[in-house]
Amino acid sequence: MDISADYVEWMQAQVSKFADNYDVEKDRAFAAWAINYVLEVEDDDAFNQSDTLQRGDAGIDGWHYDRDAGVFHLIQAKYLEDPLSPYNSPGNLDSLFKGVLLLKDPQKVEKGPNGEKLKSVALAMQSAAEDGASISLVFFIAGRMSEESKKKLADVTNELGGHYSADIYDIERFYEMKLSEEPIEDLSGKEVTFKLSGKNEYFERTEISLPGVNSAAVFALDGRSLADAVATWGPKLFHGNVRYYLRKSNRVNKAMLGTLDDEAKRKAFWLY
């Protein structure tokens, strides 16, 4: 994937901003920025949850418990000054797997370096597991990682058991996230045709709680037809009425929450 120079500059500026605001090195700032950007954690919380312990940190550069999603994230981050260069040391990420095994026993953690701090993470992970949360090993890489390396990390994670998963963010995935947030052109002047799933597979609704709208039709589409349209047009297909994730802080999502909070407006939520 070709990654624009503008994006690289934007990403480096974001990391530098965290570094300046918290007076830390860029590698620490990168971990905090990534937690903030990807996991949507507030700045201060992201910084506090990316407390790199350096020697004796069990390979852990951050953690975050998403209670709503039921996922406890254990994070390792690697920052390269040139994010377009390949990250050729995936073996260095193995330390996080060892850290996971260590954190399973909070009493053992307490006896090692940074014992109290690691024990607090271990107890938080233990509590999350008791609540039924899954454990996600998250790798943030400010560089390119090969598909082979990603597969190796996924395979090792699978050996930990069904409650564990690996989530890898390299420069290409970060770039894809940024692109999904950018304004995109719509399909003005284009014609897209869909097939119904069968004869008369639709109904019309005339009682709508929305001024200016007299009726609306609901269709059951042929799935192959919809998939073909998505493959052809991508996000443009949904530009007029967004149907993909825009992050909690996005103005569209904030407006949706406002609609749900309004007793009158939420009656037409299905139509919006």
pLDDT digits (tens, 9 = 90+) for 6-31: 999 999 999 999 999 999 999 899 99
Based on the domain organization, do 139 and 237 belong to the same domain? no
In the listed set 148, 180, 212, which residue is the last one of a domain according to the structure? 180
Assess if residue 124 is contained within a domain.
Answer: yes
Instruction: List the one residue out of 174, 156, 170 whose CA is nearest residue 76.
Output: 170
Residues 42 and 176 in one domain: yes
Domain count, the chain: 2
Contacting residues for 189 by C-beta, under 8 A, at least 6 apart: none
In 3-state terms the chain splits into helix, strand, coil percentages (rounded to 5) of: 45, 15, 40
Torsion from C-alpha of 165, 171, 175, 178, nearest 10 degrees: 70
pLDDT digits (tens, 9 = 90+) for 101-140: 778 777 777 666 667 778 888 888 889 989 999 999 999 9
Task: Give the per-residue pLDDT at 56.
Answer: 45
Same domain, 168 and 214: no
**Same domain? 16 vs 81:** yes
Is 125:63 a contact under the CB 8 Å cutoff? Answer: yes
Is the pLDDT assigned to residue 38 strictly greater than 90? yes
In a domain, 116, yes or no: yes
Residue 175: inside a domain? yes
**Where do we find the tokens 């940190």?**
57
Shared-domain flag, residues 262 and 128: no
User: Do 175 and 206 fall within a single domain?
Assistant: no
- Cα 71 to Cα 163: distance, rounded to the nearest angstrom: 10
Cβ-count burial of 165 within 10 angstroms (0-12 exposed, 13-18 middle, 19+ buried)? middle
Among residues 82, 84, 128, which one has the least CA distance to residue 103?
128
User: Residue 36: pLDDT band by 50, 70, 90 thresholds?
Assistant: very high
Tell me the backbone φ, ψ of residue 24, rounded to 5 degrees: -130, 170
* Position 194 in a domain: no
pLDDT reported for residue 259: 85
Token pair of 20, please? 């300046």
> Average pLDDT in the 149-158 region?
84
166: helix, coil or strand?
strand
Q: Is 128 within a domain?
A: yes
**Domain closes at, from 180, 214, 241:** 180
Q: What is the pTM of this model?
A: 0.69
Q: Is residue 151 part of a domain?
A: yes
Instruction: Name the more confident of 255 and 58.
Output: 255
Specify if 209 maps to a domain.
Answer: yes
Domain boundary among 145, 180, 215: 180
Same domain, 115 and 247: no
- Residue 66 domain boundaries: 5-180
Could you tell me if 245 and 110 lie in one domain?
no
> Same domain, yes or no, for 75 and 145?
yes
Q: Establish if 188 belongs to a structural domain.
A: no
Q: What is the pLDDT of residue 105?
A: 75
Judgement on whether residues 154 and 216 belong to the same structural domain of the protein: no
Residue 24: burial class (beta carbons within 10 Å; 0-12, 13-18, 19+): middle
- Between 12 and 153, residue with greater pLDDT: 12
Do 209 and 96 lie in one domain? The reply is: no
Are 6 and 40 in contact by the 8 Å Cβ rule? The answer is: no
Residue 87 to residue 228: CA distance in whole angstroms: 35
H-helix or E-strand spanning residue 65:
strand 62-66
176 and 106, same structural domain?
A: yes
